[in-house]
Structures are given as C-alpha cells and as structure tokens.
C-alpha cells in the first residue's frame, strides 16, 4: 500500500480505538486494551486484506429472534463480511470478547450503521457483548475460547474440497492458545494441508489474570507452532504494511500463522496505570470515569492518536537522513 493508503488504514485504526474508548466511558465498561492491541490488525484486514462482498450502504443488524431450531433458521452475522460466494473470504473472530472491536471496525469501514451500537448488550439484540454467530461480522459462535480455530479449520477443509478461491481468515487472542483444543486444531489443519487457512494472533501478552508469562507461558510460541507443522511469521502487530505483505504472500501447502506482537496500551498510554490487569476496563470510582472522559474529549478533538504522528516522525527521519547525506556529499 502506498503512503496515502497507509495513512487511511492507520487513521481508521485510531478511530476504532477512540470509538471503543468512548463506549467504555459511556457504558462504564469495555474491552479497551483489546482495541489498543488489535485495531491496526482489524483495520488492515477490513481495508486491505479480506475479500468481502460489496455493500451499498452500512447494514443495520437485525434483532435476535430465537435460538436456532426446527422453527427458527440459524442467522449469522456473515452478511456483514462476505456473500457466501466461492471467491469471498470467510472471517472467523475467535475471541468473542473482541466483538466490540469488531463492531467498531465494521462501523469505521462503512459496513455497519453506527446507530447499531445503541443496541449493544441489550436483551433481544444481536449486537452482543460477547459476540455469537448472529452478531454483526461473526460467522460462528466462538465464546468458548479455542473453538473458533476448530470451526475455521472445518470450514477451510470444506472450502478446499469445494475448490473455493476464498480463504478462511481467523483472528485469535494469545490467551486462548493455551487451550488444548487450539493445539488439536493446529495439528489437524497441518495434517490436512489446509493452506487456505490463515490465522492472525493478537499477542498482546496479557489475559484475565495478568501477564501471559505468569499464568501459563506459551513461548517459544512460533517454534511450537512450527513443530505442529504450520507456516509461521512473527511481526510487529502495529505495522500495517507488514500485516498486508504477509497476508498477500502466496499461500503454502500448510496453514499460516501470523503472530502479531502488540501493545495493549497502544494509542492510549494512560491505560498503563492498570498494569498488569488490562482485560476489562470498568470504573469503580466515578472520578476515574470522569478522568477517562476527559482523555476521550481531548483525543477526539485532536482527531487521531498514533497515525499521523507516526507517519510524520518517519517523514522527518527520512528528511533528516537525506539532509545529512547531502551535507556529507557537499
Ligand atoms: C474455554 C474458555 N475458558 C475460559 C474462558 C473465560 N475467558 C474469557 S476471556 C479470557 C482471557 C483469555 O485471554 P486473552 O483472550 O488473551 O485475553 P485478553 O487479551 O482479551 O485480555 C478467559 C480466560 C472462556 N471464554 N473460554
């Protein structure tokens, strides 16, 4: 992607973070660190990587009618992504607590009407706090961690047999990769040569009880995945160019894993005060909520958090290097 496109992606990522911050303050709770760590990944996937159905306008989610059964057909949130055609990618969000970030990404990329957020976590709404198969952008129910990749591998197997061009793209969190089901799925996907499966893991280093390394260390995560037969890349998960480059590489015979090392306070450094418990932000003291409201108002007025600042810094460094080189020549 060129510099202009990169700026657009980074700005969308910042708007995702801001939207989740605004929601967290207004609802007195939210999955904010997940937005910080994964907004660049979501923005790049939705703007540069996923092969999606074209939409005439942002969609409004339908109400949740009833649990699927003989009288109720299953409804999925897939219509916010693809259209079921062989060329479209399937997108599986595995850690369902990231649904809030997914909704923000759908809004910021023009796929969901922003008014849908009024229905968030309300009885009878499909805009669930912990996303389920009927929720916008969700294609299967994955709330029990580790199940997303198993279902994705099954879908990838079926799509491979059918000869579909579309891939199965999965977004995972690092905490859920501690589960046995995750490793069984990796083993099966490798054994069945599911080269049409690509998994991005948000390695933000934290889970409910604090640091991954103090709960149950996964490292060396990349080597372990390789030992299970997968193709593995490890990247800076905030580098949108790198996410796109890896995502667009020619698929291999084996499933691909992209470990995205991320910072759960990226763009909102004041979150560092909550170290090492970032999992869910709720304000027990009303003064804290007001303080965060103040942060939001300041940042919203400024427009972006990381995007332009980062690009400007890069440009300034390049200009400085060029001036230095010119000075040397003269
Ligand atoms: C099988 C299963 N075990 C436990 C949970 C409860 N749970 C919900 S989120 C979560 C944390 C998992 O780690 P991660 O997704 O990396 O945390 P985050 O980055 O969102 O803080 C846990 C244990 C669950 N949903 N499913």
* Residue whose CA lies nearest to ligand 1 atom number 19: 207
Q: What is the CATH number of the domain that holds 317?
A: 3.40.50.970
pLDDT tens per residue across span 294-317: 999 999 887 667 766 666 667 678
Q: What ligand 1 atom has the least distance to the C-alpha of 95?
A: 15
Candidate from 140-149, 155-164, 201-210, 296-305 with smallest mean pLDDT? 296-305
Distance between Cα 313 and ligand 1 center (Å):
36
User: What burial class does residue 153 get, using C-beta atoms within 10 Å of its C-beta: 0-12 exposed, 13-18 middle, 19+ buried?
Assistant: buried
Q: Which of 38, 99, 175, 185 to mutate to test the pocket of ligand 1 (most atoms within 8 A of CB)?
A: 175
Measured in degrees and rounded to the nearest 5, phi and psi for residue 124 equal 85, 0
Confidence at residue 326, expressed as pLDDT on a 0 to 100 scale: 86
Confidence at residue 249, expressed as pLDDT on a 0 to 100 scale: 96
Q: Which is nearest to 282 in space by CA: 129, 116, 145?
A: 129
Q: What ligand 1 atom has the least distance to the C-alpha of 147?
A: 1
How many domains in the chain? Answer: 1
Residues forming a β-bridge with 236? 261
Distance between Cα 145 and ligand 1 center (Å):
6
Measured in degrees and rounded to the nearest 5, phi and psi for residue 84 equal 80, 0
Q: Are strands 168-173 and 231-236 parallel, antiparallel or unpaired?
A: unpaired
Question: Does 194 sit in the ligand 1 pocket, CB within 6 Å?
Answer: no
Confidence bin at 177 (pLDDT 50/70/90) = very high
Q: Which is nearest to 152 in space by CA: 97, 219, 107, 200?
A: 200
* Residue whose CA lies nearest to ligand 1 atom number 13: 175
Question: Does 201 sit in the ligand 1 pocket, CB within 6 Å?
Answer: no
- State the residue range of the domain holding 7: 3-329
Dihedral (CA of 96, 98, 103, 107) sign:
negative
Question: Does 38 sit in the ligand 1 pocket, CB within 6 Å?
Answer: no
pLDDT tens per residue across span 47-105: 999 999 999 999 999 999 998 999 999 899 999 998 889 999 999 999 999 999 999 99
Question: Does 94 sit in the ligand 1 pocket, CB within 6 Å?
Answer: no
User: What burial class does residue 207 get, using C-beta atoms within 10 Å of its C-beta: 0-12 exposed, 13-18 middle, 19+ buried?
Assistant: buried
Distance of CA 214 to the CA centre of its chain: 24
Confidence at residue 305, expressed as pLDDT on a 0 to 100 scale: 73
pLDDT at residue 325 greater than cutoff 90: no
Per-residue tokens: 51: 């092969």
pLDDT at residue 169 greater than cutoff 70: yes
What is the helix (H) or strand (E) element at residue 211, kind and residue range? strand 210-211
pLDDT tens per residue across span 190-248: 999 999 999 999 999 999 999 999 999 999 999 999 999 999 999 999 999 999 999 99
What angle in degrees, to the nearest 10, is found between the helix axes of 3-27 and 286-302? 160
pLDDT tens per residue across span 247-257: 999 999 999 99
Distance between Cα 302 and ligand 1 center (Å):
33
Q: Write out 291-302 in H/E/C secondary structure.
A: HHHHHHHHHHHH
Percent of the chain at pLDDT exceeding 90: 87
Average confidence score pLDDT of the chain: 94
Q: Which of 132, 144, 180, 208 to mutate to test the pocket of ligand 1 (most atoms within 8 A of CB)?
A: 208
Q: What ligand 1 atom has the least distance to the C-alpha of 208?
A: 11
């Amino acid at each position: 992607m060129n510099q202009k496109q990169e700026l657009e992606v980074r700005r969308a990522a910042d708007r995702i973070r801001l939207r989740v911050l605004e929601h967290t303050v207004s609802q007195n709770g939210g999955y904010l660190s997940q937005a910080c760590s994964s907004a660049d990944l979501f923005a790049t996937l939705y703007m540069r990587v996923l092969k999606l159905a074209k939409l005439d306008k942002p969609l409004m989610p339908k109400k949740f009618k009833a649990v699927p059964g003989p009288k109720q057909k299953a409804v999925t949130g897939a219509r916010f992504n693809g259209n079921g055609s062989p060329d479209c990618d399937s997108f599986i969000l595995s850690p369902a607590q990231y649904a809030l970030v997914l909704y923000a990404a759908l809004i910021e990329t023009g796929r969901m009407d922003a008014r849908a957020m009024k229905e968030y976590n309300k009885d009878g709404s499909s805009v669930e706090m912990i996303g389920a198969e009927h929720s916008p952008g969700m294609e299967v129910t994955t709330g029990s961690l580790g199940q997303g990749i198993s279902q994705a591998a099954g879908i990838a197997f079926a799509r491979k047999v059918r000869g579909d061009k579309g891939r199965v793209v999965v977004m995972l969190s690092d905490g859920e990769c501690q589960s046995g089901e995750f490793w069984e799925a990796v083993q099966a996907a490798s054994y069945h040569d599911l080269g049409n499966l690509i998994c991005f893991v948000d390695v933000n280093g934290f889970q409910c009880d604090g640091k991954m390394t103090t709960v149950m260390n996964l490292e060396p995560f990349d080597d372990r995945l390789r030992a299970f037969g997968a193709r593995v890349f490890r990247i800076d998960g905030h580098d949108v160019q790198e996410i796109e480059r890896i995502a667009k590489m020619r698929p291999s015979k084996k499933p691909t894993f992209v470990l995205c090392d991320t910072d759960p306070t990226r763009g909102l450094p004041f979150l560092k005060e909550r170290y090492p418990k970032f999992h869910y932000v709720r304000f027990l003291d009303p003064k804290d909520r007001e303080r965060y409201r103040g942060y939001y108002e300041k940042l919203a007025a400024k427009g972006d958090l990381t995007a332009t600042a980062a690009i400007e810094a890069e440009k300034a460094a390049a200009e400085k290097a060029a001036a230095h080189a010119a000075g040397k020549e003269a």
